Amino acid sequence: MNILVTGGSGQLGRAIKDVAENSEHRFIYTYMSSQNHDGMVHLDISDPEEVNKVMDDHNIDVIVNCAGYTDVERAESEEDKAFKANAKAVEILSGAAKARGAVLIHISTDYIFDGSSSRPYREDAEASPLSVYGRSKLAGELAVRASGARYMIIRTSWLYSRYGKNFVKTILKKSEEQPLLKVVSDQVGTPTYAGDLAEFILTLLEPENLEKTGTYNYTDEGVCSWYDLACEVCEMSGNLCEVVPCETGEYPVKAARPHYSVLNKSKVKKTFGIEIPYWKDSLRHCLSEIATSLRSSQ
């Protein structure tokens, strides 16, 4: 099969490239930035003509949409850009998939929920996003469902990897440079290693799994706060930095975040018969990857 991976230069796109290295499928990775990426195809997913051309040129069977506007704070002042990338572009991709009988695997987020629940959110829980980012991602989900295309919407949370910018890498760097860090302790969710999500996405490419369309939650196992995650990063990396818990209100932010956004994964485990790694185990693996990468670059 021919697999189009949008957002190929991002965290998840690069993680998919790593795990798909020996795959029997043909992967076409795309990017949107002005910076050239060797081996990737430039594609503006908000341009229908460009999308249709790439789909036709490469005879695409499956789209994995990892692209999107992910800056939660900046989205509050750039609503048009957020909705263009997270909703309008998704509508275009969905239409292209529908027209060709392709399957769309679309990545969504826990931020479509308001965090008022005290139990993990199931796939059919009512969405009520608090931020522009969350509303734009929910609009993308609605566009997928309305398109008539065959689809899988995969909701995930707190994504990190050795690539790009993410919370884990930020804490790792700051804990090396500063003796004390204040980290929010009243936002609870689940960190998800991009490599684990990428492995799961590859299992979806099996012919029998592509027929299991619908919406699924996928994160690593377990629950923690941002404070807990920061503490683990410091402990596992051996950085002697004091991490102090604080409340969300102590940091002035534009975008409201859900205080509780844990996702229930019983459906995805039952449907696909998978085991999901525990977040601490995956964090340890990722930190090892980062350390190895740093040593090789020195």
How many of the other CB atoms lie within 10 Å of CB of 177? Answer: 9
Write the burial class of residue 153 (CB in 10 Å: 0-12 exposed, 13-18 middle, 19+ buried).
buried
Cα three-residue angle 55-57-61, rounded to 5 degrees: 45
Q: How far apart are CA 5 and CA 13, in angstroms?
A: 7
DSSP bridge pairs for 42: 31
Catalytic pick from 31, 133, 193, 216?
A: 133
DSSP string of 217-283?
E---BS-EEHHHHHHHHHHHHT---EEEEE-GGGS--SS---SB--B--HHHHHHH-----BHHHHH
Longest dimension (CA), the chain: 56
Cα–Cα distances in Å, from 164 out to 34, 73, 174, 182? 16, 17, 16, 23
**Contact (CB, 8 A) for 90 and 106:** yes
Tokens linked to 127: 């969405």
- Residue 163 bears catalytic tag: no
Instruction: Give the up-direction half-sphere exposure of residue 8: CA atoms within 13 A in the CB hemisphere.
Output: 25
226 contacts: CB under 8 Å, gap ≥ 6: 167, 183, 184, 185, 187
| Residues with a known catalytic role | 133
